A and B are shown apart, each in its own frame.
Chain A
Amino acid sequence: MLDKEILVVDDEKDLRMMIRSIFESAGYTQIWTAASGEEALALIAKKNPGIIILDVMMPGMDGFELLQEIRAVSKVPVLMLTAKGEAEDRFAGFELGADDYLVKPFLPRELLLRVQAILKRAYPEKNRIVTLDAAAVDLDRAEVIKEGQRIPLTAREYSIFEKLTENAGRIVTIGVLCQTLCGDIWQGYETTLMTHIRHLREKIEENPSKPVSLLTVKGLGYKLVVKELER
């Protein structure tokens, strides 16, 4: 993941420097910057970047125009940066095919997390194994490896587990988890979710009644504590 090429397009030199420094200290090595739309298009033709971070407000060709040009030739993930927080702008960006949208001033951590999430989605890795306290989960095969045994996960357990893994260490709300189970109209599925969680715990926890990996956060949701995320 760290070897993915990141292209930063912004007319502000300091901002380009700052973003570059954020990713460099996070371990990314291939970071390119462009000061204008034209420059960016030339770089894209040569370099084939893994993700593009794009400022909306630029003199000359603006971010939306550039996005259109990019979309004509490539499906590369794009994260838009904008100084305007208005919803209209956000929707315009998504309609043109942006993958995410971040309003300035953003926090460095926020940018990093969003880029990582996009990369994870866009370039799913093989042999993903999640190591937990009492078991490991092979995401590609949807199996739990516990005490040398392989226990298969049902489709629903898998989608819940995947969502929790994506947000490892963070609380995922009941609503979000229900949504992964049954879409937008999820009200009333809370008990179903609890059942799936119980089954998941039986598979991954040493003592399902005293969970240490899949934790309940009272009233809010669940949190997965991961020991190691192998790639």
Chain B
Amino acid sequence: MKPVERFFRKYFLSMAGIIVLFVLLNVVLFFSMLIWAWQTSETPDLPINEICDGIMMDGEGHFTTAEGLSGLLEENHAWAMILDDAGTVIFQRGLPEELPRRYTTTDVAKFSRWYLGDYPVYVREHPQGLLVVGGEKGSRAKYYFSVNESYVRKLFVGLAAVFSINIIVVVLLIWKNTRHIEKAVTPILRGIETVSSGQPVSLPEKGELAEINRQLNKAGAFIAKKDTARAEWISGISHDVRTPLSVMLGFAGQLEDDRTLPASAREQAACIRKQGERLRSLISDLNLTSRLEYSMQPLRMKKVYLVELARQVVCEFLNGGLEERYGIAFCADQESESLPILGDEALLKRALGNLIQNSIVHNPQGCQISVSILCKEAGITVEVADDGAGVSAEKLKELTADHRRLESTDEKLNLRHGLGVLLVRQIVEAHKGTMIMESEPQKGFRTVLTFPV
């Protein structure tokens, strides 16, 4: 399930990335907005410093103003006045009529903090007294506040905490959501994997994705049904061929042994019998291989002693009248003799028989076959080797390739070399063993099966 996990990890990370991006974007937008508001606000700040500098007192005690002062005030719709220590206006420019010309200390304290008759005013120390500059009514907001420093610090920490908690909560929610989806989707993906490997699938048909699970179950059942039908079909065909073939084999054998017939006729009968026997082994291989392919063959697992099993298989060949040009040598080591494996006796016999038969069939000129059973670290090895013609590297690759001929329908069912090797591999796999084939042209063929103990 590595790809699925990777997918969900990526998905989660991308969601987290989206949040970071979102926050950054908001920060940028916020500051751009501030900058924009500041730059486009209609009333610029009152140039208090300039105004202050623009009002001077000459040596005789008269106020003089700088040249541009009136223009500056007008431009800003502002007015200015200077109060002496007693609160009397000793200088003014553009002071609105409605405003008083005398102020008490209370008045000064009030307007320096708030407004002076709705005019926003700013105060400034001037060599002659207190400079008061007033702006246009409603042109600016004026607040005054003073806060405790620890409160400000707490406020910022609090804001940062709120912000981080928000982020954490969002990330957790996303993580939970991702897990939820993963939980719902993973069985489906597993199911698909199972179906693609040809195994039966059964997913619980509940939850939000019940419909998909149901469909997947249906697909699995459909494939299984097709596989079963195919195996049944092969089984049926091979069944129907068995009786006619028995009759043919029987009569061909009779004719072959009939001493009253001319030699040539008996040879022909022998030929019919031999080909019939080939057909016979092909049919049973085909039937068994299709049953193993679709897991329809129940394995009868029990303790099997491979050495004795191999002896019996070899003896069957020797007792069955093996032709002179073939020889079978048998060897086994002491350890494997009394070491059982768990296996299906009939199938294992079949596998070994097929290997020996292959050596015989592919070396019509005769060969020496050796069967050895040895105890190795990985388990018990069964080696069947001959000193015959062998096969080319290309052919060996073809034989070793793990293609299942029965699996794909577009591949033609190539029975030129029989189903022998395929069947052996299936049997070995059913026993969780391994199979190695080695060969070189003119240097024989060697197959090693290893079965775990």
Contact = CB atoms under 8 A, between A and B. Distances in A.
A44 to B, nearest CB: 23
Interface stretch (A19-27, A60-68, A120-128): A19-27
B87 interface: no
Taking chain B's interface residues, is the majority helix, strand, or loop, or is none over half, making it mixed? helix
Interface centre among B276, B280, B308, B312 (most CB of A within 10 A): B308
Contact of B337 (A105, A106, A187): A187
A106 to B, nearest CB: 6
Interface of A: 12, 14-15, 17-19, 21-22, 25, 83-85, 87, 103-109, 167, 170-176, 187-188, 190, 217-221
8 contacts: A12-B247, A19-B250, A25-B257, A105-B243, A106-B249, A108-B250, A219-B329, A220-B318
Interface in B384-439: none
B254 A105 contact: no
B345 to A, nearest CB: 11
B253 A217 contact: no
Contact of B246 (A15, A109, A217, A221): A15
Interface of B: 239-251, 253-254, 257-258, 276-277, 280, 283-284, 287-288, 298, 300, 305, 307-308, 311-312, 314-315, 318-319, 329-332, 337-338, 346
B283 to A, nearest CB: 8
A171 B249 contact: no
Taking chain A's interface residues, is the majority helix, strand, or loop, or is none over half, making it mixed? mixed
B312 A173 contact: yes
Contacts of A176: 312
A108 B249 CA distance: 7
A139 to B, nearest CB: 22
Interface centre among A173, A174, A217, A221 (most CB of B within 10 A): A173
B246 A187 contact: no
Contact of B331 (A87, A174, A219): A219
Given A84-B239, A187-B305, A107 B253 contact: yes
Contacts of B300: 87
A77 to B, nearest CB: 21
Contacts of B346: 87
Given A170-B319, A173-B315, A175-B311, A108 B247 contact: no
